[in-house]
Amino acid sequence: MVVLIAASSAYAGYEAVMRFLHPSDVRNVGVLIAAGVIGFLGNEIVAQYRIRTGRRIGSAALIADGLHARTDGFTSLAVVLSAVGAWLGFPLADPIIGLLITIAILFVLRDAAREVYRRLMDAVDPALVDQAEEVIRSTPGVVEVTGVQLRWVGHALRAEARIAVDSDLSLIEAHHLSHQVEHDLVHGVRRLTTATIHAEPSPTTQPQPTTSSATTTNLLSRRPASTQCVLRSCHVGLDAFW
């Protein structure tokens, strides 16, 4: 669709320049005005419907198609304005308005190309990222949000997030909290269908690990017999060396 919009702009500009170089009389002004008005209204209705539907379902292609229909409406509008100018006795109105409509089509082309390029690059509206982060922060049990990433997969959004939780939580409790965050994201962010949540202990609540001789003895007693023999041999050898 972006290529078609570019082609429409190029053709409109070419015809406008040719009208400047080779002026000609405009005939059947009434028919031109009627056809132009009908064409403009029809294309604009179709454009609004496609753009609105494309934004609702997250389809960049449908939005670009709606913008293409809007360029067709601008072309029809150019016919109306040029016909009115010719009817008022200003024959250069046709090429002048043609150039103005060419410029308008170029702006439409810019918007369509930017939308499609952002989708190809997995770009997401920063407002959606902020919304997702706010939803995660509002979930009870989340101490901090350390990272949020959103990306488009077709017409749907997928999220990946890292959260910090209380280090006193058990594995099962952290797992349930991650599922709750996923549930809140899917129901709180539009067009988000799935989320992957990674929970990690919060540095502010993480207890300092301690190692005692009793713990070391307990760990050694759980080692296989062959491993214990190796450790004792090393210990005896070091005592003999010293």
The pLDDT confidence band at residue 141, using thresholds 50, 70 and 90, is very high
11 has pLDDT over 50: yes
DSSP string, 40-101: HHHHHHHHHHHHHHHHHHT-HHHHHHHHHHHHHHHHHHHHHHHHHHHHTT-TTHHHHHHHHH
**Residue 86 vs residue 103, higher pLDDT:** 103
What integer pLDDT is reported at residue 1 of this predicted model?
59
Looking at the structure, tell me whether residues 43 and 144 fall in a common domain.
no
What integer pLDDT is reported at residue 196 of this predicted model?
92
Looking at the structure, tell me whether residues 176 and 190 fall in a common domain.
yes
In sequence order, the 6+-apart residues with CB closer than 8 A to the CB of 116 are 1, 2, 60, 61, 64
Residue 44 lies in a domain: yes
Looking at the structure, tell me whether residues 136 and 186 fall in a common domain.
yes
| Domain tally, the chain | 2
Looking at the structure, tell me whether residues 20 and 108 fall in a common domain.
yes
Residue 225 lies in a domain: no
pLDDT per residue as tens digits for the range 107-131: 878 877 887 777 777 778 888 899 9
Looking at the structure, tell me whether residues 22 and 100 fall in a common domain.
yes
Average pLDDT, the chain: 76
The pLDDT confidence band at residue 214, using thresholds 50, 70 and 90, is very low
Report whether 31 contacts 53 (CB < 8 A).
no
Show the domain range for 65. Answer: 2-120
Looking at the structure, tell me whether residues 101 and 151 fall in a common domain.
no
Looking at the structure, tell me whether residues 111 and 149 fall in a common domain.
no
Looking at the structure, tell me whether residues 48 and 131 fall in a common domain.
no
Total-model pTM? 0.51
Looking at the structure, tell me whether residues 35 and 96 fall in a common domain.
yes
Looking at the structure, tell me whether residues 91 and 139 fall in a common domain.
no
Expressed in percent and rounded to 5, the helix, strand and coil fractions of the chain are: 65, 15, 20
